[in-house]
Amino acid sequence: MSYIDGFVIAVPTANKQKFIDHAQHADSVFIDLGAIRVVECWGDDVPEGKVTDFRGAVKAEPEETVVFSWIEWPDKPTRDRAMKTMTEWMENPDTADPRMDPEKNPMPFDGTRLIYGGFAPVVTL
| Residue-wise pLDDT tens digits, 47-106 | 999 999 999 999 999 999 999 999 999 999 999 999 999 888 878 877 777 777 777 777
DSSP state of 104: T
More confident residue, 1 or 82: 82
Q: What is the DSSP string of 60-78?
A: --TTEEEEEEEEEESSHHH
CB 119 within 8 A of CB 79: no
DSSP state of 12: E
Kindly state the helix (H) or strand (E) to which residue 116 belongs, with its residue range.
strand 115-119
Verdict on whether the full-model pTM lies above 0.75: yes
